[in-house]
Structure 1
Amino acid sequence: MQSALAGLSMLILGDSHFGAQGYLITTLQDQLIQQGAKVSTYSACGSPASVFLTSRVASCGTAQRIQNGPIQQKRGNDARTTPLAQMVQQAKPNVVVIAMGDTMAGYVRRELPVDSVKEEVAALTDQLRAMNLPCVWIGPSWGTEGGPFMKTFARVQQMSQLLATVVAPCTYVDSTRLSQPGQWPTFDGQHYTLDGYKAYGAQLAQTLAALPQLRDIRR
């Protein structure tokens, strides 16, 4: 049976979870390619969603990977994002997948920065709506509590619930439904070990392939 992803051109905009070899830029991307999709991934570490609207420096680096090609990483002042319009022109996607959550959740803050999250999400979704591009937004996953990012399960759940209400017209994928809290190992509370990213990538690929919205694009 042919995968629902076969023939789709997918543009993925991700955060630090897509920033290095063995992260989702390989584990998820390879799974999607195996299912027949053409995939271009751009990652901006430590940045909010609006970083992809123009050429801006991502605070802790960028990564880029086109289909089966090598990962191209940049750091410092060279770590500039590619503007959304340029990425769309190059990739010609049928669907844009955004995976931005942890950076905007403000784990070190006492309260979730609701207004800031809404503004950042709207900045990107408004552009995608204007381009008439179908989109999927992947929310944050559990990780483990503590570590330098001070991640907590309660804040992850709160952030996920907020994103689910504000990412329209994008379809929302709730990563907290893909595992139990703390199930996948991390090395710093937020970023997974290689085994963790392998499990996360497999679950995300399966979830994306099952979305009715992506099946409808191919009709």
Structure 2
Amino acid sequence: MQSALAGLSLLVLGDSHWAANGYLVTTLQDQLIQRGATVNSFAACGAPPSAWLSARVASCGTAQRLQRGALQNKTGSDARTTPLDDLVRQYRPNMIAISMGDTIAGYVQRQTPADTIREEAMALTDRIKRLGIPCIWIGPAWGTEGGPFLKSFARVQEVSAILARSVSPCAYVDSTKLSRPGEWPTFDGQHFTLDGYRAYGTALAQTIAQMPEVRAAAQKR
């Protein structure tokens, strides 16, 4: 396991699930590193995927973590995304991981914003395709129903299905297949407790490490 992903240089673009210690930026990132990968992650809380096409302020903050370094957070006007092209030039990844879904799910809306979800996903994947870098897209997990975000299992399932059809050429990681609805505890319906993130991170790490697309990227050093 220690060298299964040796040679993989992974650039992660995430949402709020990557923005605090104990979240995926700790649990998943550390487990991928343990398998031999180099992982640099950047998160924008509350921002859609298209926010990574230019420098934009993220309404509730940004975060970044380079390998096993400390998590660095910014808020207010300093919380700006770094354009994907700039991140690729600096970190030279051989794979990109997008971990977004809740930010564009529109849980508070009566109807699922299907067109917006597709447009947001395609805006980012089109840029990645032009860069010629293989990618994976991690979709939303079940969470628990209710809370301030009004998350529901039915909406998660619908959003996941839309993303699965929209993120090509990225391989899709269906987080709903990793647990039962409501299995992993949350504190607000959307964000998991530390126990929940440990379970989610472990399940994702095992899944990602077995993906043929990921293993192929790791072999291209």
Alignment of 1:104 onto 2:104? yes
- Name the residue aligned to 1:135: 135
Q: Secondary structure of the equivalent of 2:190?
A: coil
> Within 2, Cα distance between the matches of 1:167 and 1:96?
12
> Unpaired runs of 5+ in structure 2?
none
**Matched residue, 2:180:** 180
Instruction: State the Cα deviation string for residues 94-141 of structure 1 (Å, max 9, x = none).
Output: 100001100100000011101111111111001000000100000000
Q: Does the 8 Å CA contact 1:3/1:209 hold for their aligned counterparts?
A: no
Contact 1:4 1:214 in 2 (8 A): no
User: For the residues of structure 1 that align with 2:4 and 2:211, how far apart are their CA atoms?
Assistant: 8
Residue 196 of structure 1 deviates from its aligned partner by: 0.4
> Structure 1 stretch 166-175 or stretch 2-11: which is displaced more?
2-11
TM-score for both structures, normalised by structure 2:
0.97
Gaps of 5+ in 1: none
How many positions carry a matched residue from both structures?
Answer: 219
Write the letter of the residue equivalent to 2:212: P
Q: d(CA) in 1 for partners of 2:199 and 2:206?
A: 11
* Cα distance in 2 between the residues matched to 1:216 and 1:194: 32
**TM superposition score normalised by structure 1:** 0.98
8 Å Cα contact 1:28-1:201 kept in structure 2: yes
SS at match of 2:187: coil
User: One-letter code of the match for 1:151?
Assistant: K
Counterpart code for 1:106: G
- Over the matched positions of the two proteins, sequence identity in percent amounts to 63
Shift of the alpha carbon at 1:4?
Answer: 3.5
- Residue equivalent to 1:125: 125
**How do residues 27-42 of structure 1 correspond to structure 2 at under 5 angstroms?**
27-42=27-42
Which residue number corresponds to residue 48 of structure 1?
Answer: 48
Aligned to 1:148: 148
Instruction: Using the TM superposition, give the Cα deviation of residue 3 of structure 1 relative to its aligned residue in structure 2, in angstroms.
Output: 4.2
Residue of structure 1 equivalent to 2:93: 93
* Paired residue secondary structure (1:121): helix
Asked if structure 1 preserves the Cα contact closer than 8 Å seen for 2:2 and 2:34, the reply is no
